[in-house]
Amino acid sequence: MDNRFATALVIACVLCLISTIYMAASIGTDFWYEYHSPSPAENASELGKSIWDEFISEEADEKTYTDALFRCNGTVGLWRRCITMPKNSHWYSPPGRFSAKKTDMVRSCISFSLSDQFAEKYMEPGNHNSGSDLNRTYLWRFQFLLPFVSLGLMCFGVLIGLCACVCRSLYPAIAIGVLHFIAGLCTLGSVSCYVAGIELLHQKLPPPDDVQGEFGWSFCLACVSAPLQFMAAALFIWAARTNRKEFTLLKAYRVA
């Protein structure tokens, strides 16, 4: 094998490994979107035990837990939603005790169930009589499913690569490149669906004026993973096609 092809394959494998790690970390963490409230401790102490009971309730609708995210420095991932609550039992502690000490605050999380992931979204969040919002419903479902499809395709590409190493053949690299290209499209689609879903949600449930929202580092990892997948795909396909072309020319030259 020419040194050019070997170098391209090594770089592609490194990019593949990094993008897989980034994607797995992005899926498994809860910081796709973050809300920052100026006084989460005061908000939590004012609302008392009810905010946590409503937040963890299986019957909690989108409006209920989104309001809690606004007021309590909430973060949202693909699997879980989290809020910042006082460490002590706030429903019997004096309100004045909740200062802005970080040591008195703890993140409390609740997972989305599969029924939550595939539940309908409504034109007015929390109002089941307002009719289904198909755009937000399918954006939410795609943003949940596409990252797993992307990660699965990359893992399948790794298996093909191992088989290619055993067979000492460069031809499967084209298939690996195609799989990584499709995985990149899935990652890009997931990121786009998430951004669109957040924007549509904020149009219907705008955050309070004193609450700031921003995309978190989990979202950034997914954004970085997509171009790495595309670069790895390009290197795999280039190395395989160029090597095959040169091999064909060399074979023709020997026959002649």
- The domain segmentation of the chain, as residue ranges, is 3-89+104-246
Give the mean pLDDT of 227-255.
72
Q: Write out pLDDT tens, residues 62-108.
A: 888 888 888 888 899 998 888 887 766 444 445 444 444 444 677 88
Does the predicted TM-score (pTM) go above 0.75? yes
- Can you give the C-alpha Rg of the chain in angstroms? 24
Q: Write out pLDDT tens, residues 67-80.
A: 888 888 889 999 88
Q: Which of 35-44, 164-173, 226-235 has the highest mean pLDDT?
A: 226-235
In sequence order, which residues have a C-beta less than 8 Å from that of residue 150 and are 6 or more positions away?
Answer: 23, 183, 184, 186, 187, 190, 225, 229
How far apart, in whole angstroms, are the C-alpha atoms of residue 95 and residue 234? Answer: 59
Tell me what percent of the residues of the chain surpass a pLDDT of 90. 38
In sequence order, which residues have a C-beta less than 8 Å from that of residue 228 and are 6 or more positions away?
Answer: 15, 16, 18, 19, 22
Phi, psi (deg, nearest 5) at residue 252: -65, -40
CATH of 3-89+104-246, one of 2.40.160.210, 1.10.1040.10, 1.20.140.150, 3.20.19.10: 1.20.140.150
